[in-house]
Structure 1
Amino acid sequence: MKSSEIRSQFLEFFKSKQHKIVPSAPMVIKNDPTLMFTNAGMVPFKEYFLGNKDITEPRVADTQKCLRVSGKHNDLEEVGMDTYHHTMFEMLGNWSFGNYFKKEAIAWAWELLTEVYGIDKDILYVTIFEGDASENLERDSEAYDIWKQYIAEDRILNGNKADNFWEMGEQGPCGPCSEIHVDIRSAEEKAKVSGASLVNQDHPQVVEIWNLVFMQFNRKANGSLDKLPAQHVDTGMGFERLAMVLQEKQSNYDTDVFTPLIREVEAITNSTYGKDEKVDIAIRVISDHVRAVAFSIADGQLPSNTGAGYVIRRILRRAIRYGFTFLDTKEPFIYKLIETLSMQMGNSFPELKKEKTLITNVIKEEEASFLRTLDQGLVLLENIIQTANGKEISGAKAFELYDTFGFPIDLTSLILRERGYSLNEAEFETELQKQKDRSRAATKVATGDWVVLRDDAIEEFVGYDTLEGQVRITRYRKIESKKDGELYQLVFNLTPFYPEGGGQVGDKGYLEAPNGEVVYIIDTKKENNLIVHFAKNLPRRPEDIFKVVVDTKQRGRTAANHTATHLLHQALRNILGEHVAQKGSMVHSGNLRFDFSHFSKVNDEQLREVEDFVNGRIREGIALEERRNIPYQQAIDEGAIALFGEKYDDTVRAIKFGKSMELCGGTHVKNTSDVWHFIITSEGAVASGIRRIEAITGDAAKSYFEDRSKAYKEVQKLLNNTKDPASAIEKLQEDNSSLQKQLEELLKDKAKNIKGELKNEIEDLNGVNFLAKEVDLDAGGLKDLAFELGGEVENLFILFGSKVGGKALLTCYISKDLASEKDLNAGQIVRKLGKHIQGGGGGQPFFATAGGKNPDGVEKALLAAKEYIN
């Protein structure tokens, strides 16, 4: 029976018992501070059990996506090591909210398992709660009496409170439960040991498949139990384990829940499942973890550095690491499994199909990023291990890996444990604290006391309406920082200077004394609700009344760029979709930067659409509609966009240009035409699911066009003033391509000539045809030469070294039969020999390369290869 049939038969069965079939709730929990993920089938129904929500459907059945990787239920480290633990799994369940109870739950469970699914009752065991004197709880005789109508009494086992009394938490609904276990061992094994003795003993073939929870008590704050006025049923059956039983397999991973993914991993990584335990573990880890990560992303949780996002990133990185270490994968590949997963489970879980592109792109980006960290970090970690004194690794060296190269400390610990080493964690923590102290010291500012000139508690910002004014200095102080040296901070009674905030830089300008003295304001910030102006020096007479002037050009350019971010946000939501949300911005006078949520590269056509949209609004000449001090909720109700994570006062300022309306405290142009023109200069990723656009407007856009025009004329001149530079360049490219092909042919001829000479240099070492030689060819030429020799000479081991462009290259080829017979691995060998050229590399067991920055080490690597074979 296929897994899709198993799932549908379960739901159809309970539909026939008048249950409402409901879809799976999201695996990622948004509104429960006690949980990050749905870790059991009952989680979406907690409000019913707690009495916080009215019951509209007394009978419900579903298949619920669950994730157990954190908190009380954490199976992460077991996943892959055995054949029945998972991170993400499905829990089939039927629920009664004050409707039926033990009699029906037990009867229907038995009917479904033995009659519908056809499971032999002689391989089933059930458990009941044996009671607990300390809680004054009696044995669940009611369940026992019901069960003995269906199964032999010697197969009804007593279970203790830990196994057979289910509780939601320290308080709330709880009750006894009956577990159904299955014994799928061979007849010979059953004859030796009774299955009854293996129930709840973590035996891989004697496992629980269904738990029937009878909620009949309420746990009070003092620990006492009261009977619930309404009794509920909460059941959960492990879908993957059920499939194992019905498909007559000895492992969950041998069922069609996982075999399509396992076959795809085998094909992509050129590995085989079922021959080597380490490879098997790696494949199980990857096949399991990709499901957890894919479903999490589909439910809206992207990998990140905090909270639930960190858990998802950790799961994915565990899968990547196993592939890297045991399947020799050096390029992203896990993302390729999403197509198979979507085809396999997309009909039951349509979110997989809907978000397939998003899931694929996020995983691919995460893989590429972490593989770069792994590749570099593992080489460095290996060096640390090789030079270690004893079996404890220095925490200081592990910290250097973490701090300098971003290599995760938990991964370092894991690898060390696998290699039989330990980490000095106390030393690591010491180094971590030192780093934090250094960081604080680097940014430390020596601040003098305020000199108060006027007791003026109110500092009015007038910069929305004017760029100059008459002011008094109310207070000042001197500060010294390592970065800027000696500075003065000035506070005025009122100011037109905009302080840095909302992504917009602070204003610059000057103040002028009555005697003509000028003091330049180099920055403006907000500190403890004071607008603080930074100056290199203090006016000679700080008590004077000063004329202050904001740098008009900088303010104008900054205002144009800030206005452009609003139009850009509107354009992105219009063209890419309503999912786009601002995740950060930086507005300078020279350019703007805008970060937003989107899960794939914005292609050239879309970028042109975005540019056209913004420039269309600029050409329309839309006037600014500014509304100050309006109630926050009123602004939201009227359609204003508020930034997630931003703190707003009860009253806010709303900026509107046509249909674009946002809550914003920044400065803006009076009319979109003042932006002049908008040009996107770059688009790229800054994190998984977060893109960044950089752009210019106004004077910077004018300079951009002038520079492009100048460059175009220079290109024309280089192309003899042709009127069609594009065609001329295309012709040059064609000529260059032709010459490149000729060069490649010449190199191939050179390689053929070299081949004859090299065949004569092959020597027999311990039954291995051995050749180690420096050859003056590039990587492609060395590869072709190695494979040509390999096609003509049996039992061949080759190490070629070359020095190209001031860098070193090693190429290792091993005949496939030889690699297998002698247990040689080219990838492992080049990684070892790569130390001589101060580099690293890898590849397949029969062919691998390494690159390094020390050409002088090539000769040592060639000699080391000979010593290795000897």
Structure 2
Amino acid sequence: MKSQDVRKQFLDFFESKGHLIVPSAPIVLKDDPTLMFNNSGMAQFKEYFLGNATPKSNRIADTQKCLRVSGKHNDLEDVGFDTYHHTMFEMLGNWSFGDYFKEEALPWAWEFLTEVLKLDKDRLYVSVFEGNEAENVPFDQEAFDIWKQFVPEDRIILGNKKDNFWEMGDQGPCGPCSEIHIDLRTDEERAAVSGRSLVNADHPQVVEIWNNVFMEFNRKADGSLEKLPAQHVDTGMGFERLCMAMQNTTSNYDTDVFTPLIEKVEEITGLKYTSNEVKDISEEQNKTNIAIRVIVDHVRAVAFAIADGQLPSNTGAGYVIRRILRRAIRYGFTFLNTKEPFIFKLVAVLADQMGEFFPEIKKQQGLVTNVIREEETSFLRTLDQGLQLLDNVIATNQGKEVPGAKAFELYDTFGFPIDLTALILRERGFSLDEAGFDKAMQEQKSRSRAASEVSTDDWKILVEGNTETFVGYDQTESDAKITRIRKVDSKKDGVMYQIVLDTTPFYPEGGGQVGDKGVLVSANETIQIIDTKKENNLILHFTKKLPENVNGGFVAKVDSKLRSDTTKNHSATHLMHQALRSILGTHVEQKGSLVSPNHLRFDFSHFAKVTDEELQQVEDFVNARIQEQLPLIERRDIPFAQAVEEGAMALFGEKYGDHVRAIKFGESMELCGGIHVKNTGEIWYFKIVSEGAVAAGIRRIEAITGDPVKVFFASQESALNEIKLALKNPQDVIKAVVSVQEENAKLKKQVEQLIKDKAKGLKTELAQQIQEINGIQFLAVQVDLNPEGAKDLAYDLGSLGTNMFLVLATAEEGKPMLSCYISKELVADKKLNAGQVVRELGKYIQGGGGGQPFFATAGGKNADGIQEALNKAVDFVK
């Protein structure tokens, strides 16, 4: 059975059981601060399990894109080395929100596997929770009794808390689970060793395929458990493992989920991948297999993350995506001998393979391809640079073991993979101090963990029920009562409180718009609200101090000035999006935004620099809409399909409900939950202040509106007046500036020529001062030149022989600089290294630097240390 059919059979089966089929949520999470990525099927339904929202149906089924590469669930380092772990995978799930429970979920699971898919019952094992006396959770007798109707007792395994008790996190809904495992070994292997003994033993052919979680409890902050008011079912079945069982293979990578990608890698590299059925392969072939598995797994994770709006970057989720891609590039570079970008060519295969069920990968195929190609090109350059740096480390290392701290510096600063460092060192006859590297890595993790450590108390419920109402679209002030309070203590922000109100005008951060600030006023006091965010469908108001009487009545007041400035920027963002699509083309799509009171930032897909002329056209377009004073046409709670059909733009990577809010100004119409001006005339004026690239195929525009524009114009006028004054009030300012530039260029050429002439004279003079020490021509002296002139002089003097060791110091405008030149012959024969020399001598001028083994420079702060540095230079040749 093909993988597409497996997916369809599952969804059709649960649709026949009264389940609503819903699409996969984006792989990148936007409104859950506890998770970076969707790492399980239930992540998109957390708000239902927590009771903060009502599901559209009490029975739901789906297949969810998941990514496990960070935090508690991290499979990254296992990928490639075995045949069943993945970074990105699909989780087939059926869900009950307070509806059916164990007596339906377990028989349905058995029915689907054995009657619909017709898997061999003799190969299946099930597990149930054995209980935990310490937490007062009993043995799951009910699940055990249900399974006895279908499975012999010797195939029912009792599992401990680690294997058979599922938790959302340190706090929150949890409960016992019942897993289904399949034994895919040969008949001979099964006869020799019982599959029961291999369940949960990490055997590659005895694997878990389905987990039925029964959410019965809530884990509190103190670790205790309390019964949930309603019981839920959360199941997850590994799609790739199920395909392995259905296609009679012993490896996920031998199924048609991966074989089209593997065949493309084979075509590109000319290397062959061997099936898991082939035994006794060579070590070289094993390395090839691992590399190909890594690449075809990782391209799926990276491609879907980019399609859902997460671009590779140097921070947060973007850094994780970049790290995954770089791991794939490195495996190709080292083991498949791919020195040119090639992974981007797999995107077309992936889009053809999965585009029907996940349309985002087809829609975003061009962007994904270009981003991956640019990232590959960039990192391959980094690998080259890293190899040069590693050469320097090897050249200056004392002994045959390279310190772990040095390797960590390459890894941390330049993104140079540690396994590649270790491989190259072994090839060169060196070893790596792995313990030192691990220590440096652990220290960094400890610093990061300490900086972000957060402890969260349980919610203190003041008003029972889900009664929260948002009124911020219509007002900035409302009467309110506090319904719940939670204390949060973090190393970064200290003690803070999160307050939930029954009625709030405060807009929570979302869709690029920052959260509102303001106050909570009672008869006796005023509490500052310093931020507003949304978490699992709750609007959280952040404050440093709780009211004295939390049960009293309050007036919630948004800071109207900040709100007004923010709405101007938000509405201008919509108009700018329309302008960019009109002027640059409909390929332009929003890829990120920030809307704050002070400015707006907008990231969008476009593969060329936006010209000055195009930027002016965008400005003119937006300002024309402002002058037209277009009224806001807002439509709330309309069906998603209807809004899109009427022309509303939906953003990829955003999660929309069945009913949405549409914002329209003239011809601009977008789905948006943010706050906007009532009329575009309120924006006053729109001014672009910068444009540039942020990633491959992604441009960024920053702009301002309203009062900041007035400040900008005033500062421009002030700067112009200062320029006029400096130029003695010329009639034509531009002509006067051009004249000064031309004169400056002429004088600069004259100065450069004078410096060259001076250096030539110095060459003759200094050649007489060179002394021979241990067969090396040595000179260390301060010269009255700029650093560039000193470099030219060093190379000129170096040309006088093949055994030169020169250190020239300069102090232009009091800034000390050391330049070291060493003949290449000395670098090779004497193991001298200019980079090491300047790093040591740079200490005397309170600075440092580096460069190549034959020429390097160091800058510093202390010109008084120049002479001591020159005096110490001779130690390198003595």
Q: Which TM bucket (shorter chain)? A: 0.5 to 0.7
Query: Larger deviation: 819-828 or 504-513?
Result: 819-828
Percent of paired sites with the same residue = 48
- Aligned equivalents of 2:748, 2:433: Cα separation in 1: 55
Contact 2:826 2:832 (8 Å CA) reproduced: no
Deviations 1:557-614 (A, max 9, x none): 1111112222222333333343333222221111122223334433433332332332
Within the candidate set 429, 432, 436, 1:420 is matched to: 429
- Aligned equivalents of 1:424, 1:692: Cα separation in 2: 43
Q: Find out whether 1:836 has 2:841 as its counterpart.
A: yes
1:675 matched to which residue of 2? 683
Q: Find out whether 1:533 has 2:538 as its counterpart.
A: no
Q: Find out whether 1:759 has 2:767 as its counterpart.
A: yes
Deviation at 1:502, TM superposition (A): 1.9
Q: CA RMSD in A?
A: 5.1
Deviation at 1:428, TM superposition (A): 4.6
- Aligned equivalents of 1:733, 1:772: Cα separation in 2: 38
Within the candidate set 522, 530, 552, 1:513 is matched to: 522
Q: Describe the shift of the 1:726–1:670 C-alpha distance in structure 2 as closer, same or farther (beyond 3 A).
A: same
- Aligned equivalents of 1:584, 1:719: Cα separation in 2: 43
Deviation at 1:393, TM superposition (A): 3.9
Q: Describe the shift of the 1:705–1:392 C-alpha distance in structure 2 as closer, same or farther (beyond 3 A).
A: closer
Q: Give the greater-gyration-radius structure (CA).
A: 1
- Aligned equivalents of 2:411, 2:672: Cα separation in 1: 39
Structure 2 gaps of 5+ residues are 1-26, 28-78, 84-185, 189-203, 206-245, 252-261, 271-294, 345-365
- Aligned equivalents of 1:662, 1:702: Cα separation in 2: 28
Within the candidate set 671, 687, 692, 2:695 is matched to: 687
Contact 1:827 1:842 (8 Å CA) reproduced: no
Deviations 1:706-729 (A, max 9, x none): 121122222222222333222222
Deviations 1:314-370 (A, max 9, x none): 576799999xxxxxxxxxx989xx9xxxxxxxxxxxxxx999998997666556777
Deviation at 1:466, TM superposition (A): 1.2
Within the candidate set 483, 496, 511, 1:474 is matched to: 483
Q: Describe the shift of the 1:235–1:745 C-alpha distance in structure 2 as closer, same or farther (beyond 3 A).
A: closer
- Aligned equivalents of 2:790, 2:547: Cα separation in 1: 72
- Aligned equivalents of 1:498, 1:466: Cα separation in 2: 11
Contact 1:510 1:550 (8 Å CA) reproduced: yes
Q: Find out whether 1:708 has 2:716 as its counterpart.
A: yes
Deviation at 1:848, TM superposition (A): 3.3
Within the candidate set 825, 840, 858, 1:851 is matched to: 858
Q: Find out whether 1:627 has 2:635 as its counterpart.
A: yes
Within the candidate set 505, 509, 512, 1:500 is matched to: 509
Q: Describe the shift of the 1:605–1:800 C-alpha distance in structure 2 as closer, same or farther (beyond 3 A).
A: farther
Contact 2:393 2:406 (8 Å CA) reproduced: no
Within the candidate set 606, 616, 622, 2:624 is matched to: 616
Deviations 1:455-498 (A, max 9, x none): 35210001011111222222334444444444443322111111
2:704 matched to which residue of 1? 696
Q: Describe the shift of the 1:416–1:238 C-alpha distance in structure 2 as closer, same or farther (beyond 3 A).
A: closer
Q: Find out whether 1:663 has 2:671 as its counterpart.
A: yes
Q: Find out whether 1:582 has 2:587 as its counterpart.
A: no
Q: Describe the shift of the 1:72–1:376 C-alpha distance in structure 2 as closer, same or farther (beyond 3 A).
A: closer
Q: Describe the shift of the 1:487–1:309 C-alpha distance in structure 2 as closer, same or farther (beyond 3 A).
A: closer
2:510 is aligned with what amino acid?
G
- Aligned equivalents of 1:222, 1:356: Cα separation in 2: 31
Find the residue that maps to 1:420 and give its secondary structure. coil
Q: Describe the shift of the 1:602–1:315 C-alpha distance in structure 2 as closer, same or farther (beyond 3 A).
A: farther
Contact 1:303 1:313 (8 Å CA) reproduced: no
Within the candidate set 374, 388, 401, 1:391 is matched to: 401
2:748 is aligned with what amino acid?
Q
Deviation at 1:811, TM superposition (A): 4.4
2:857 is aligned with what amino acid?
A
Deviation at 1:670, TM superposition (A): 1.8
Contact 1:842 1:849 (8 Å CA) reproduced: yes
1:391 is aligned with what amino acid?
E
Q: Describe the shift of the 1:373–1:660 C-alpha distance in structure 2 as closer, same or farther (beyond 3 A).
A: farther
- Aligned equivalents of 1:562, 1:685: Cα separation in 2: 22
Deviations 1:709-759 (A, max 9, x none): 122222222222333222222222233333333322332332232222123
Contact 1:358 1:600 (8 Å CA) reproduced: no
Contact 1:787 1:813 (8 Å CA) reproduced: no
Deviations 1:767-790 (A, max 9, x none): 776655443322332344345556
Contact 2:822 2:832 (8 Å CA) reproduced: no
Within the candidate set 457, 461, 466, 1:457 is matched to: 466
- Aligned equivalents of 2:367, 2:554: Cα separation in 1: 62
1:585 is aligned with what amino acid?
S
- Aligned equivalents of 2:320, 2:492: Cα separation in 1: 34
Equivalences for residues 130-169 of structure 1 within 5 A: none
- Aligned equivalents of 1:809, 1:319: Cα separation in 2: 41
Normalized against structure 1, the TM-score is what? Answer: 0.55
Contact 2:787 2:817 (8 Å CA) reproduced: no
Q: Describe the shift of the 1:575–1:356 C-alpha distance in structure 2 as closer, same or farther (beyond 3 A).
A: farther
Deviation at 1:695, TM superposition (A): 1.6
Q: Describe the shift of the 1:640–1:411 C-alpha distance in structure 2 as closer, same or farther (beyond 3 A).
A: farther
Q: Describe the shift of the 1:367–1:674 C-alpha distance in structure 2 as closer, same or farther (beyond 3 A).
A: farther
Within the candidate set 703, 707, 717, 2:725 is matched to: 717
Contact 1:836 1:857 (8 Å CA) reproduced: no
2:417 matched to which residue of 1? 408
Deviations 1:274-305 (A, max 9, x none): xxxxxxxxxxxxxxx9xxx9xx99xx999776
- Aligned equivalents of 1:576, 1:588: Cα separation in 2: 25
Find the residue that maps to 2:741 and give its secondary structure. helix
Count of residues paired in the alignment? 571
Contact 1:782 1:811 (8 Å CA) reproduced: no
Contact 2:798 2:821 (8 Å CA) reproduced: no
- Aligned equivalents of 1:701, 1:370: Cα separation in 2: 44
Q: Describe the shift of the 1:840–1:655 C-alpha distance in structure 2 as closer, same or farther (beyond 3 A).
A: same
Normalized against structure 2, the TM-score is what? Answer: 0.54
Contact 1:583 1:596 (8 Å CA) reproduced: yes
- Aligned equivalents of 1:505, 1:360: Cα separation in 2: 33
Within the candidate set 609, 612, 625, 1:601 is matched to: 609
Q: Find out whether 1:545 has 2:550 as its counterpart.
A: no
Contact 2:425 2:432 (8 Å CA) reproduced: yes
Find the residue that maps to 2:530 and give its secondary structure. strand
